[in-house]
């Protein structure tokens, strides 16, 4: 009976549980519409359809190209949801997870929806559309466009990350100089990863390289053959072996051989970055990846950099001579003000007096410019009505700030007058602008753009579809006249320009002219010259005021560092040999033809004039493929179907209508401390945008009284999220036999209705509150014949409970739980005497947790939980035990325990109400559940978490090398009001965590501290992540 009754405790605990987790904040409401193309429904908001039409056009072109490679066309329509900025994208309800900086798009598997932000760059946006549609077609092909096929066990194939993301990269961009840089660097690494070891960023670029190798050796038609073989064998490695005759080991050998052949010829005659510049940071020593966006102070004494050396992205001030850290100026990713530091387009700039820096950052609902004193850390926050803000640049007189702003699908150069507090858009057109930099007298700016010869910006928004946005040049804009002048007109890319200060009309910038991102010096009266000839790549330039040295970010040895080059104006011009990649392009031997092998039939959007760019590939290596191809009249057809509304020159937008479709049917299993494994069947429904979500679950047994079922609805379109739920939990169990041999059974029922709301104020903080009604009943049933039972005893009551919580959480996670940051939950539960039982209690619970990352894999964790209950019917706290305890008993005073519990929950001192509203407090390892009971509780937990095998020196490439381990100490006490403070109970020991795929198995060895010292070791097996 005890086990059954405790179910009610667990149900109440789940409703009132102290929860953590960060928030997805709805800062604004979106008015959605959609347009349709032959294969896609594009959802957008606002009145301007240009971005949606661009998306539809590119999506259809991508589908045509991808389908030829995969030998598969979409069987189901795909929904594409487009946001105007990354800030808006982070508010999506399609995906539950927070869309952190760096995620440029996502394809989910419940409805095979694609969700994309536009971040001001059409080339990048086209790439992301294409990339995500590779995933969408793979989902459609392998999983029938739904996760249900995986859940039901119909499909067992899991495409490896390198194959999935690598193929998406390869088919969306083929190859480029940055991918070439990454692989060239990898090819000279002492330990090149195997195919199985490709993970994180290298899964993207390494996987892209493997598909390039396959396409070059076997032809692009092998791509579809491999994917189809994977599908047929339901195994990725077997599919590759079937199609290529190679397993992963052989594929690794062949790929490594290809890399050496491809890149080792490029190594000769090129410098490593340290050969031509001084390294100021060391990502290998710091065990981080990013040291980027260096900005040297005008007086030449300090450098501001963006680095992830702490595990977060922070801004540090370094000494300009030796790179020694002076101070950490900004802590990123922990607070609303510096929620994100614009990793992809950072742009740190110093004030002319070298006392402040200007940076762009995500600050809650919008981006902001911050002006920060480098000594006092005092900051000034500037907010503008823009979708996004990037790359700030301070004017030479300190009175103006230039930056890139995005608004309604366009990125432009803006100027903010600090004194007059006026914002001016210097450009206002359809093109993608970036990286503004001031000249010496502040009369003009240089910037990067894809506008080609359109320096007046007169093209209409629709023209971007037909514009070649694949390559960028440098431009200047005169602040007085507003005239734009094109500085470079090349087939390659230029980026990160800065003006020399002591030599008039001279620029430094980086260019991939010969296949490597080198630094160029360009006197505007002459031709540009390369002043470096390096092996990998240089980016993000910054010059001292006297031009004595140039600092920049460089990529080498699989990471980013900051370097300093002295006297850049005096560097001699260098001859830069072209890479094999550029040679292949020039010779036409780079395998590009398959992208153009099958010109697709025209589907009309009603365009009646202008050049047809629907089959155009905007990259210079495809110029000789961009020739017109006539479509025979007998196959010229319109692909527009009944769901595609097109007017004469545009799509016809339709208002969005909420329509629920099934996401998932699944058997749900769970495990709790007392009842063990439980389960029911769950159905999940939502609309396309995820704003309305319905869950229904049931476990039907005989009749409704004895069945479990629940219904919940979430309304997520507003800043406050609203939830409604209805549930019924019934448990029937054996009580025993009476003197006549008849069986007695108990039936425990809990029927509840709850309304709940959650109001996030930022990514890190929210307030929650709700009101719940509960009907509890406990009935005894006596057997009257072989089949029939009758009720002989019944006890029931109702109660209404208000609850409110304040939650803060800025933690970051490792493999098994939080590893850094702080989280707290303060919850107040009140029973004001509403309901038949008139229960009177007020319970306050506070849970504080702090984590300190002390190494790449190790951390210290501390927790303090305090609880108190007041009133006539105050709640009880049960102290002891551990979460999801499966097996393993300890001992008490040297005697082996025969139960996980110290005492019965239902005894002479407890009535049914005590059972319903009591709460377990744990972990106290080495002690049983209910080791102490009281209306007040205090518990402190401490853990040192580290990877066991890594700590023993096993390299992290070996399986299980990141097996989690921990040392722990648990100390707590529970007492009643008026009682003397109870003696504490405590346990200490060590444990391990083993990832078994679907769950984490914890094995703990604990010693409980007692009056005579401590016990023998006690072993516990449990499930769950770190607290």
Please tell me the distance from the alpha carbon of residue 316 to that of residue 308, in angstroms, as a whole number: 10
Q: Calculate the average pLDDT of the chain.
A: 86
Count how many Cα atoms sit within 13 Å of the Cα of residue 404 in the half-sphere of its side chain.
25
Q: Describe the crossing of helices 221-233 and 161-173 by its angle, rounded to 10 degrees.
A: 150
C-alpha to C-alpha distance for 653 and 647, rounded to whole angstroms: 10
Cβ contact 68:62 at 8 Å: no
- Nearest in space to 265 (alpha carbons), one of 699, 579, 590: 579
Q: Determine the pLDDT at residue 950.
A: 62
Q: Which of 595-599, 721-725, 865-869, 911-915 has the lowest mean pLDDT?
A: 595-599
Q: Both tokens of residue 291?
A: 């040291």
CA–CA distance, 901 with 295 (Å, rounded to integer): 62
Residue 474 pairs in a beta bridge with: 448
- The predicted pLDDT at position 676 comes to 46
At 239 the pLDDT is 96
> Taking 70 as the threshold, does the pLDDT of residue 702 lie above it?
no
pLDDT digits (tens, 9 = 90+) for 991-1007: 998 877 777 889 999 99
Length of the chain: 1027
Quick one: pLDDT at residue 720? 96
Which stretch, 187-196, 454-463, 597-606, 906-915, has highest mean pLDDT?
187-196
Peptide bond into 220 cis (omega under 30): no
Pair 581, 590: CB distance under 8 Å: yes
Integer Cα distance of 138 and 133 in angstroms: 8
Contact between 807 and 19 (Cβ < 8 Å): yes
In this prediction, residues 74-83 reach a mean pLDDT of 96
For 89, residues 6+ apart whose C-beta sits below 8 A from its C-beta are 83, 99, 115, 116, 117
Residues 6+ apart with CB under 8 A from 575: 530, 533
Please give the average per-residue pLDDT across 453-466, as a whole number.
82
Query: Whose CA is closest to 393, among 429, 341, 447?
Result: 447
Helix (H) or strand (E) holding 251: helix 248-267
Residues 485/450, Cβ–Cβ less than 8 Å: no
Q: Give the separation between CA 564 and CA 295, rounded to whole angstroms.
A: 11
Q: Are 42 and 57 in contact (CB under 8 A)?
A: no
Encode pLDDT of 945-995 as tens digits. Answer: 988 766 555 555 544 545 789 999 999 999 997 666 678 999 999 999 887
Angle between helices 161-173 and 122-143 (to 10 degrees): 130
Q: What is the pLDDT of residue 588?
A: 66
Instruction: Please give the pLDDT value at position 981.
Output: 67
Here the tokens at position 190 are 């002492």
- Helix (H) / strand (E) containing 127: helix 122-143
Query: Minimum mean pLDDT among 17-26, 162-171, 835-844, 876-885: which range?
Result: 17-26
Q: Record the tokens describing residue 806, joined without a space.
A: 């304040």
Asked if 966 and 851 touch (Cβ cutoff 8 Å), the reply is no
The DSSP symbol for 898 reads S
- pLDDT of amino acid 151: 76
What DSSP designation does 676 have? E
Check if the beta carbon of residue 962 is closer than 8 Å to that of residue 956: yes
Q: What is the pLDDT of residue 930?
A: 87
515, 579 in Cβ contact below 8 A? yes
Q: Phi first, then psi: what are they for 186, rounded to 5°?
A: -65, -35
517: nearest Cα among 174, 173, 178: 178
Terminal-to-terminal C-alpha distance of the chain: 30
Rounded-to-integer distance, Cα 1002 and Cα 968, Å: 13
Task: Delineate the domains of the chain, giving CATH numbers in brackets.
Answer: 32-266 (1.10.390.10), 277-458+465-569 (2.120.10.30), 659-800 (no CATH), 810-1027 (2.40.160.50)
Torsion sign (Cα): 111, 766, 345, 410: positive
Fill in the DSSP letter of residue 307.
E
Does the pLDDT of residue 807 top 70, yes or no? Answer: yes
For 920, counting Cβ atoms within 10 Å of its Cβ (0-12 exposed, 13-18 middle, 19+ buried), the class is: buried
- Which region holds residue 184: left if phi is over 0, alpha if psi is between -120 and 50, else beta? alpha
Tokens of 217: 């050796």
**Which pLDDT does position 786 carry in this prediction?**
77
Query: For 470-515, how does the pLDDT look when each residue is reduced to its tens digit (9 = 90+)?
Result: 999 999 999 999 999 999 999 999 999 999 999 989 999 999 999 9
Q: Six-digit token pair at 235?
A: 């195994």
703 Rama sector, left if φ>0, alpha if ψ -120 to 50, beta otherwise: beta
Which residues are registered as beta bridge partners of 316?
A: 305, 328
DSSP letters for 981-999: PPPPEEEEEEEEEEE-SSS
> Which H or E element spans position 210?
helix 200-218
Return the higher-pLDDT residue of 17 and 523.
523
Q: How far is it, in rounded angstroms, from Cα 995 to Cα 218? A: 38
pLDDT, one tens digit per residue, over 390-410 is 999 999 999 999 999 998 878
Span 133-161, pLDDT tens digits: 999 999 999 998 888 887 777 888 999 99
- DSSP structure class, residue 66: H
pLDDT given for residue 674 in this prediction: 44
Q: Is the pLDDT of residue 855 over 90?
A: no
Query: What gap in Å lies between CA 89 and CA 106, rounded to an integer?
Result: 10
For 292, 298, 475, 502, 685, the CA distances from 563, given in Å and listed in that order, are: 10, 17, 26, 21, 53
pLDDT surpasses 80 at 236: yes
Which residue is associated with the tokens 């010096």?
521
Segment 287-298, tens digit of pLDDT: 899 999 999 999
CB 242 within 8 A of CB 225: no
- Separation in Å, CA 38 to CA 639, 703, 747, 819: 6, 49, 57, 47
pLDDT over 60 (residue 17): no
Q: How far apart are CA 698 and CA 668, in angstroms?
A: 10
Contacts of 860 (CB under 8 A, 6+ apart): 851, 852, 854, 942, 943, 944, 945
Helix axes 200-218, 161-173, angle to 10 degrees: 60
Rounded Cα gap, residues 86 and 129, in angstroms: 15
Residue 918 pLDDT = 85
Strands 518-523 and 529-530: antiparallel
Kindly state the helix (H) or strand (E) to which residue 759 belongs, with its residue range.
strand 743-760
Contact 745/781 with Cβ under 8 angstroms? yes
CB 469 within 8 A of CB 446: no
Q: How far apart are CA 486 and CA 733, in angstroms?
A: 82
Q: Please report, rounded to a whole number, the percentage of residues in the chain having pLDDT higher than 70.
A: 87
Q: What is the β-pairing status of strands 919-921 and 877-879?
A: parallel
Q: pLDDT tens-digit profile of 552-608?
A: 999 999 999 999 999 999 999 999 999 999 998 877 655 543 332 333 333 333 333
Helix/strand/coil for 484: strand
Looking at residue 14, its pLDDT comes to: 40
**Pick from 920, 818, 814: which is nearest to 862 by CA?**
818
Task: Give the tokens for residue 28.
Answer: 């604004």
Query: What integer pLDDT is reported at residue 630 of this predicted model?
Result: 35
pLDDT value, residue 721: 96
> Which is nearest to 956 in space by CA: 177, 197, 403, 361?
197
CB-facing half-sphere around the CA of 597: CA atoms within 13 A: 13
The stretch 532-551 carries a mean pLDDT of: 96
Tell me which of 22-26, 242-246, 533-537, 912-916 is least confident.
Answer: 912-916
Q: Give residue 1024's pLDDT.
A: 85
Greater confidence (670 vs 961) lies with 670
Structure-block tokens of residue 606: 């009603």
Whether the pLDDT of residue 126 is over 80: the answer is: yes
């Amino acid at each position: 009976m005890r086990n059954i009754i405790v179910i009610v405790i667990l149900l109440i605990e789940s409703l009132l549980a102290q929860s953590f987790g960060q928030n997805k904040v709805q800062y604004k409401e979106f008015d959605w519409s959609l347009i349709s193309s032959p294969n896609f429904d594009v959802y957008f908001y606002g009145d301007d359809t240009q971005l949606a039409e661009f998306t539809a056009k590119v999506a259809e072109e991508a589908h045509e190209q991808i389908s030829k490679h995969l030998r598969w066309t979409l069987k189901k329509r795909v929904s594409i949801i487009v946001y105007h900025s990354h800030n808006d994208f982070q508010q999506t309800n399609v995906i539950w997870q927070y869309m952190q900086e760096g995620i440029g798009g996502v394809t989910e598997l419940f409805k095979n929806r694609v969700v994309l932000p536009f971040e001001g760059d059409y080339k990048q946006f086209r790439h992301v559309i294409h990339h995500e549609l590779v995933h969408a077609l793979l989902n459609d092909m392998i999983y029938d466009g739904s996760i249900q096929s995986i859940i039901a066990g119909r499909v067992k194939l899991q495409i490896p990350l390198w194959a999935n993301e690598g193929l998406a990269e390869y088919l969306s961009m083929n190859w480029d100089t940055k991918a070439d840089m990454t692989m060239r660097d990898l090819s000279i690494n002492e330990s090149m990863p195997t195919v199985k070891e490709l993970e994180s960023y290298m899964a993207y670029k390494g996987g892209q390289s493997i598909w390039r190798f396959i396409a070059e050796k076997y032809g692009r038609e092998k791509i579809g053959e491999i994917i189809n073989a994977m599908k047929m064998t339901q195994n990725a490695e077997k599919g590759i072996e079937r199609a290529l005759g190679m397993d992963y080991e052989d594929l690794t050998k062949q790929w490594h051989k290809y890399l050496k052949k491809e890149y080792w010829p490029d190594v000769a005659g090129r410098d490593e970055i340290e050969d031509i510049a001084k390294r100021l940071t060391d990502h290998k020593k710091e065990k981080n990846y990013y040291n980027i966006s260096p900005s040297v102070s005008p007086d030449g004494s300090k450098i501001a950099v963006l680095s992830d050396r702490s595990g977060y992205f922070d801004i540090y001030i370094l000494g300009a001579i030796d790179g020694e850290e002076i101070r950490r100026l900004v802590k990123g990713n922990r607070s609303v003000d510096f929620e994100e530091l614009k990793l992809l387009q950072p742009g740190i700039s110093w004030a002319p007096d070298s006392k402040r820096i200007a940076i762009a950052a995500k600050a809650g609902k919008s981006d902001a410019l911050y002006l920060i004193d480098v000594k006092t850390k005092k900051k000034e926050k500037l907010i503008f009505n823009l979708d996004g803000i990037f790359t700030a640049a301070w004017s030479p007189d300190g009175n103006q700030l230039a930056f890139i702003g995005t608004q309604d699908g366009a990125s432009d150069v803006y100027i903010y007058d600090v004194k007059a507090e006026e914002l001016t858009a210097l450009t206002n057109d359809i093109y993608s602008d970036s990286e503004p930099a001031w000249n010496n007298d502040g009369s003009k700016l240089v910037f990067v753009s894809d506008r080609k010869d359109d320096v007046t910006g007169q093209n209409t928004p629709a023209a971007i579809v037909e514009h070649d946005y694949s390559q960028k040049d440098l431009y200047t804009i005169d602040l007085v006249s507003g005239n734009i002048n094109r500085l470079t007109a090349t087939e390659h890319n230029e980026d990160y320009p800065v003006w020399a200060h002591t030599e008039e009309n001279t620029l430094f910038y980086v260019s991939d002219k010969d296949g490597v991102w080198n630094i160029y010096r360009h006197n505007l009266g002459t031709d540009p010259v390369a002043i470096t000839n390096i092996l990998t790549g240089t980016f993000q330039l910054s010059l001292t005021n006297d031009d004595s040295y140039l600092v920049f970010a460089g990529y080498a040895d699989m990471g980013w560092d900051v370097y300093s080059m002295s006297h850049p104006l005096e560097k001699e011009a260098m001859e830069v040999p072209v890479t094999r990649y550029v040679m292949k392009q020039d010779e036409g031997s780079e395998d590009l033809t398959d992208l153009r092998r099958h010109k697709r039939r025209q589907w009309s959007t009603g365009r009646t004039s202008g050049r047809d760019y629907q089959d155009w590939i905007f990259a210079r290596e495809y110029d000789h493929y961009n020739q017109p191809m006539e479509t025979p009249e007998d196959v010229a057809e319109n692909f527009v179907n009944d769901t595609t509304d097109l007017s004469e020159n545009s799509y016809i937008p339709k208002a969005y209508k909420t329509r629920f479709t099934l996401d998932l049917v699944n058997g749900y299993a769970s495990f709790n401390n007392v009842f063990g494994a439980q389960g029911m069947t769950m159905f999940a429904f939502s609309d396309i945008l995820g704003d309305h979500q319905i869950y229904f679950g049931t476990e039907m047994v005989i009749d409704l009284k004895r069945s479990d079922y629940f219904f919940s609805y979430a309304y997520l379109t507003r800043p406050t999220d609203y939830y409604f739920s209805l549930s019924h939990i019934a448990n029937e169990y054996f009580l025993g036999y009476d003197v006549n041999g008849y069986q007695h059974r108990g039936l425990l029922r809990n029927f509840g209705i709850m309304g709940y709301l959650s109001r996030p104020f930022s990514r890190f903080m929210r307030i929650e509150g709700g009101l719940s009604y509960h009907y509890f009943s406990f009935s005894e049933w006596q057997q009257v014949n072989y089949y029939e039972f009758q009720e002989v005893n019944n006890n029931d009551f109702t109660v209404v409970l208000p609850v409110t919580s304040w939650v803060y959480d800025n933690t970051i996670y490792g493999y098994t739980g939080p590893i850094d940051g702080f989280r707290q939950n303060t919850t107040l539960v009140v029973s004001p005497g509403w309901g038949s039982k008139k229960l009177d209690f007020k319970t306050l619970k506070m849970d504080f947790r702090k984590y300190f990352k002390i190494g790449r894999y190790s951390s210290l964790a501390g927790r303090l939980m305090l609880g108190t209950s007041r009133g006539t019917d105050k709640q009880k706290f049960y102290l002891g035990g551990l979460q999801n305890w499966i097996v393993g008993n300890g001992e008490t005073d040297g005697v082996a325990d025969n139960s996980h519990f110290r005492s019965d929950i239902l005894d002479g001192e407890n009535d049914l109400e005590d059972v319903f509203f009591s709460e377990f407090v744990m972990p106290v390892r080495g002690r049983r559940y209910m080791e102490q009971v009281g209306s007040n509780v205090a518990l402190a937990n401490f853990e040192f978490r580290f990877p066991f095998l890594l700590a023993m020196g096993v390299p992290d490439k070996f399986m299980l090398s990141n097996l989690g381990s921990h040392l722990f100490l648990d100390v707590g006490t529970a007492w009643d009001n008026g009682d003397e403070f109870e003696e504490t109970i405590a346990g200490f020991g060590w444990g391990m965590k083993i990832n078994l795929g679907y769950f984490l198995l914890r094995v703990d060895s604990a010693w409980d501290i007692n009056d005579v010292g401590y016990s023998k070791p006690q072993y516990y097996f449990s499930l769950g992540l770190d607290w």
